[in-house]
A and B are shown apart, each in its own frame.
Chain A
Amino acid sequence: MMEQEIKIEKKKNRMFIFMPAQLSCLTLLVYHVHNFLSENLENRKVIFKIQLAVDEIVTNIIKYGQHPSDSYPITVAIRMNKKDISLKIRDKGKAFNPLEYELPDIEKHKKEKKKGGLGIYLMRSVMDKIEYKYREGNILNMKIFRKNSISLN
């Protein structure tokens, strides 16, 4: 299969990323998320947390989503607001609600040195608000509030 590039659209305080369901696109995804956020945010920790949440969800979507053969079945939208930074991730794969995912016991996980299962835990740890709905595909809305030491330029 030919590797596809991701498509980017920027509008003022918003960025849209359209991407194929290919793991090989993950680095470009987090690279563009970083670049967009860096234009408006100084707090590197917050920038990383948003990159991490996006990476974890999109990785999960690509690995387990069973997508149709659309060119760009995954959309990531980021919006910088006065009160928060919001993310909307849509995909056309099978239904998966990360809020219903049973979180691992991290202490047990570390003791047994298990490899998998940390992604959804991390995503839920770094986001302040998460909502899920299924409407012709998965729609995940997430927010990080400005009160959590975000300094906008």
Chain B
Amino acid sequence: MKRGDLSNLAWGAALLVLAALLPLTGDGYLISLGVTIAMYTVLATSWALFSGPTHYISLATAAFFGVGTYVTGAGIDHLPYWTLLPIAAVVGGVLAALVGLATLRLSGVYFVIFTLGLAEMTRQVVTWYQNKTGHKGTYVLTDLTDNDIYWQLVALAGLVFLIGWAVGRSRLGFALRIIGDDEDVARHVGINTALSKVALFIVSGAVAAVVGAIIAPRYVYIEPSTAFTPMLSFQVVIMALLGGTGRLWGPLVGVIPFTLLWEAISSSFPNQTTLLLGLSFLAIVYLLPGGFVGLWDRVKHRSARRRALA
């Protein structure tokens, strides 16, 4: 391990501890905002682990997330809460593996549409099942507070960053970057492209399901239209791209401003949130192709060149 790595790890740990101190403020609004930010940080970062290097845009986040909330919803009366998180991870991972094996041979827009369709289909299946059994939704009653949910999400964020850091330094991470650049070249240098992609897709699917399982108690009452809302998938993509997927911490710098803006807009103009989504997307396409990370890199590059010339 190099010295730079150690200092990065130390910085990461320190920031995580700092984030974990937020509930000490005792401010309910801040903590609730913290939960939202932590949730999207985990979702966007794990999304970027797969979609960042490979450029495969997945809109299946809502499917994994929803499945996770339903694991908690269905299991909370029968099993101890702590066993539900690993179960959600396994269920999300298996779903991701199945989807991955079926779709990762598809390229570009076909993959995007399929993942969007998958989320919708999962929602329809759950709705159908609930209608058949005469329920509309499920109650999730626990004594978990916002603080507990927040700490779980912060811990999960720490885990995701650790996984991302390890993958970035591994052969697998290098393989994914090559796949993202040119899949034909990847195959011809000897990379098992399908296996590499599925492996990372499983990680991001499992993480999204665990987030759903953790968040479920906050919803108290879950029904398919909230658990599988396609809006979630779009928000995750926009936040990750806004921050930039070129660095592990990129999505985080997209999540924070976006969530704050979203909160501000939805409290005063509740009907205009979709507009924010659209404008952010335009901003990414026209102004910030590499997200905030790309902007930062360009500024740094330019000032370095100016210094070299001076």
Physical interaction between A and B = no
**Residues in chain B within 8 A of chain A (CB atoms):** none
